[in-house]
Chains A and B, each alone.
Chain A
Amino acid sequence: MSLLELRDLSVHYQGARGEVTAVRSVSLALEAGRTLGLAGESGCGKSTVAMSVLRLLPRNARVEGQVLLDGEDVQTMSWGRLRAVRWAAASVVFQGAMHALNPVHRVGEQIAEPMRLHGVTGSVSELLDQVELPARAARAYPHELSGGQKQRVMIAMALACAPRLVIADEPTTALDVVVQAQVLDVLKRLVSERDIGLVMISHDLSVLASTCDRLAVMRNGEIVEEGPAREVIASPTHPHTQALAAAFPTVGDPASRHVTPADAEPSGAADRPVLLRAEGLRVDYGSTKAVAGVDLEVRAGEIVALVGQSGSGKTTLARTLLGLQRPTAGRVLFEGAELPRSASGLRAYRRQVQLVLQDPTSALNPRHSVYEAVAEGLRIHRVDGDEAERVAEALSHAELRPPELFFSSLPHELSGGQRQRVVIAGALALGPRLLIADEPVASLDASVRGEILALLLRLRRDLGLAALVITHDLGLAWTIADRVAVMYRGELVEQGTVEQVLLSPQHEYTRTLLAAVPHHGVPEPDRTGTP
């Protein structure tokens, strides 16, 4: 008998605009000691599936089909039986460890809470030990722990009553690559040691590939592909799976590198004039050194990736290069001339260098239409000529066609990818020569990521636009960049061409980062050979 079996499960939500079907006849099974991955984009119904296992769905949900936990149907359980099953038989690692812990209780008490409720005896320090946290962490309040530590506390909490099934909903989404790798290791070890069944939900195929035995890909509430994880990822059959797999490229895999050799010609790149140069740049916030002496060059028509963990000073560096933050020491040169300090000088500089922000939803004023958002820069700079024509041109460069159709849309009427295109169009309207993109795809769905990256490459080819792409994702750097600079604690520890840095890293930190990237089923590239 399977530990968990979903038979023809459908979930409908009763909304103001009629009934919406979130999950459509999903059938899945999981044995003890196994890991099942559930992949899909936001809104595909994967979290609804997870919540239906413990009947945690909101009141307006209507469930059809069966959810069998150890052969017992969850839907027909009495309230008391359900309470006993929750946590003791199956538990959940909730999404977003930052908010799932109560800030006013010590984490030890929170781990002990389910044990107290179920009358189970157990030791908090033992549980903490299992997730590789010191026993004294039990005395800490959530704010005293890092993101990865909090996530491990959540896992310890899920294990408190020794359940046989654990459901992890996006357990590593908000975490850095290095921390993500540690958390995934903990989960993998627990599955094999304690013979529990793990359902892991993620939008990131590479995370699932490195932990799961079986993989199910969901789209619009339906399972479009299911099978052994390695097979699904190595040779996806459904186009949606292919798009998802392509969005998380493998470093070193030539197929996922989208820069054509002609673009990346090293000799050609060296001849191009230097567009932006930072010399000995330092930015201090009080006593913290956010940027501690950075030398960086971006040449015309070149895409440079700035890679680093969160807190490494990447964003501060970007803001300083844009002139939004004044450096403590050092200087920024654009075409050999130092960045002006006057307001009018900076304004002129902004026509050359533009910014694309991480989250397009918050980067657009919700009250402004697409037209207003794109025309904003033109109005600030009092650009001559036909405004509507320039807006239309910028929108079609950003591949929002036909542009007139989007003029009067408000941001909330667009999809995430379309919003990011509007942000890019707003930058393009000014005809800049360099784009500084801060995590341009981090908040987008997987299938849209590839499109936005392809757009950046096409803009480089068609308009000769250089870009400095800031990212925590080495795969992204591998996909589109000519050169990579690795940032660690405010310093650039390594920079060079993509092949040099990512295939034969010299610095210890670069190697750590690379080792932490989850790998697909494809064979490991030769790390020792020079490109």
Chain B
Amino acid sequence: MTAIVWQRRRATAGATWREFASQRSGLVGLVGLAVIGVLAVLAPFVTDQSGLDVTRLTASPWEPPSSSNWLGTDHNGRSVLLLTWWGTRISLVVGLAATVLSVLIGTVVGITAAHFGGWVSAVLMRFTDFFLVLPSLVLAIALSTVLPRGLGTIVLAIGVTSWPATARLVRAQTLAVEARPFIERARALGGGHGHVIGRHVLPAVLPLVFVNTTLTVASAIVAESTLSFLGLGDPTRVSWGSLLHAANMHGAVSQRAWWFLIPPGLGVVCVVLAFTLCGRALETVLNPRLKGER
């Protein structure tokens, strides 16, 4: 019997893909993401990590772009191209991990609040409102100051501050699904909370969560860059934000070292744009109400 189910799922996935592929902006975003992803994964294999080590440098600081250093060097004489390339890895990892955390918290809180209702919902939603009204950057700064510095802290700080919007969205969708009579039928058949949530609510809510995820990644990457730019990131690792922080600290502007400022900035823009394009295209595919407006 499961064979039929899987066959149908494959067919649905195929149809979804065809519809996604028919949107050029979504495809552009997807190709961009694939390229960036492959570059980030391949960094340790095609580049020499020792180039990031200040003690083994041959180039002099603040070298403008040349044939040996395509994007010039930083204040220590490290290649900006290499730094930006390696920065991709941290930016992506932090962005994705923080998004997973944020979407996870948001989905659990949203579904729980909507499914159980009553005082559970009241408590959870007031809790959500509390996080929603706090300026998330200030909260993230406070968190990363109090907690020990490191990658985990950044992920935690971004994840914990960006879930309320997801929670509200998931709650609204869950409420809409649970008002449908097939939920009543499932209950009358004897289905408990686990059955109703697992078999009926989650499959209906997940597409929305998925779209939300791709859009959240973009803002998480921006948040990571912001925190690192403010000097709150992991000092031992290179990310786009920490590159900009270093450029700012060591007077790249007064050195007229534009090559140190632009590459990491463009990196952030490209990744965020790619994720946003993908997310918008997915949203159009999965949310039939948006189709008519195309």
Residues of A within 8 A of B (CB): 322, 324, 343, 346-347, 350-351, 354-355, 357-359, 362-365, 367, 369, 371-372, 376-377, 380-381, 387-388, 407-408, 410, 423, 426-427, 430
Contact residue among A362, A371, A376, A427 (Cβ-Cβ distance under 8 Å from B181): A362
Q: Which residue of A lies closest to B195 (CB)?
A: A380
Distance in angstroms from B16 CB to nearest chain A CB is: 13
Please, which residues of chain B bring their CB within 8 A of the CB of A426?
Answer: 185, 189
Most interface-central of A354, A359, A380, A381 (chain B CB within 10 A): A380
Q: Would you give the 0/1 interface string for B254-277, flagging 1 where the beta carbon is closer than 8 Å to chain A? A: 000000000000000000000000
Q: Is the CB of A407 within 8 A of B4?
A: yes
Please, which residues of chain A bring their CB within 8 A of the CB of B1?
Answer: 371, 387-388, 407
CA distance A380 to B203 in the complex (A): 17
Within 8 A of A (CB), among B189-211: 189-192, 195, 199-200, 203-204
Q: Contacts A377-B189, A377-B190 given: A363-B182 contact, CB under 8 Å?
A: yes
CA distance A261 to B191 in the complex (A): 39
Q: Is the CB of B189 within 8 A of A357?
A: no
Contact residue among B181, B190, B200 (Cβ-Cβ distance under 8 Å from A381): B190
Q: Is the CB of B180 within 8 A of A380?
A: no
CA distance A350 to B181 in the complex (A): 17
Q: Which residue of B lies closest to A353 (CB)?
A: B188
Q: Is B250 an interface residue (CB 8 A)?
A: no
Please, which residues of chain B bring their CB within 8 A of the CB of A371?
Answer: 1, 4
Q: Contacts A354-B188, A371-B1, A388-B1 given: A362-B8 contact, CB under 8 Å?
A: no
Please, which residues of chain B bring their CB within 8 A of the CB of A346?
Answer: 190
Q: Which residue of B lies closest to A359 (CB)?
A: B181
Please, which residues of chain B bring their CB within 8 A of the CB of A423?
Answer: 185
Q: Is the CB of A363 within 8 A of B4?
A: no
Residues of B within 8 A of A (CB): 1, 4-5, 8, 180-182, 184-192, 195, 199-200, 203-204
Please, which residues of chain A bring their CB within 8 A of the CB of B187?
Answer: 324
Q: Which residue of B lies closest to A372 (CB)?
A: B5
Distance in angstroms from A443 CB to nearest chain B CB is: 11
Q: Which residue of A lies closest to B200 (CB)?
A: A365
Distance in angstroms from B125 CB to nearest chain A CB is: 21
Q: Which residue of A lies closest to B9 (CB)?
A: A367
Q: Is the CB of B5 within 8 A of A362?
A: no
Most interface-central of B4, B187, B189, B203 (chain A CB within 10 A): B189
Distance in angstroms from B72 CB to nearest chain A CB is: 55
Contact residue among B190, B195, B200, B203 (Cβ-Cβ distance under 8 Å from A351): B190
Please, which residues of chain A bring their CB within 8 A of the CB of B192?
Answer: 343, 347, 380
Q: Is the CB of A408 within 8 A of B4?
A: yes
Q: Is the CB of A362 within 8 A of B199?
A: no
Known: A350-B189, A355-B185, A355-B188. 20 other contacts (CB 8 A): A322-B188, A343-B192, A357-B185, A363-B184, A364-B182, A365-B182, A365-B199, A369-B5, A371-B1, A371-B4, A376-B186, A376-B191, A377-B189, A380-B192, A380-B195, A388-B1, A407-B4, A408-B8, A426-B185, A430-B189
Q: Which residue of B lies closest to A376 (CB)?
A: B189
Please, which residues of chain A bring their CB within 8 A of the CB of B189?
Answer: 350, 354, 376-377, 380, 426-427, 430
Please, which residues of chain A bring their CB within 8 A of the CB of B4?
Answer: 369, 371, 407-408
CA distance A111 to B8 in the complex (A): 52
CA distance A380 to B189 in the complex (A): 8
Contact residue among A350, A367, A407, A410 (Cβ-Cβ distance under 8 Å from B188): A350
Distance in angstroms from A267 CB to nearest chain B CB is: 33
CA distance A12 to B181 in the complex (A): 35
Please, which residues of chain A bring their CB within 8 A of the CB of B204?
Answer: 367
CA distance A371 to B187 in the complex (A): 18
Please, which residues of chain B bring their CB within 8 A of the CB of A369?
Answer: 4-5, 8
Please, which residues of chain B bring their CB within 8 A of the CB of A355?
Answer: 184-185, 188
Q: Which residue of B lies closest to A348 (CB)?
A: B190
Q: Is the CB of A357 within 8 A of B181?
A: yes
Q: Which residue of A lies closest to B192 (CB)?
A: A343
CA distance A410 to B182 in the complex (A): 14
Distance in angstroms from B158 CB to nearest chain A CB is: 33
Please, which residues of chain B bring their CB within 8 A of the CB of A347?
Answer: 190, 192
| 8 tightest Cβ-Cβ pairs between the two chains A and B | A350-B190, A355-B188, A377-B189, A347-B190, A362-B181, A363-B181, A365-B182, A408-B4
Please, which residues of chain B bring their CB within 8 A of the CB of A380?
Answer: 186, 189-192, 195
List 6 A-B residue pairs with CB atoms under 8 Å apart, sorted by A's residue number.
A355-B188, A363-B185, A365-B199, A376-B199, A380-B189, A380-B191
Please, which residues of chain A bring their CB within 8 A of the CB of B186?
Answer: 365, 376, 380
Q: Which residue of A lies closest to B7 (CB)?
A: A408
Q: Which residue of B lies closest to A349 (CB)?
A: B190
Q: Which residue of A lies closest to B180 (CB)?
A: A362
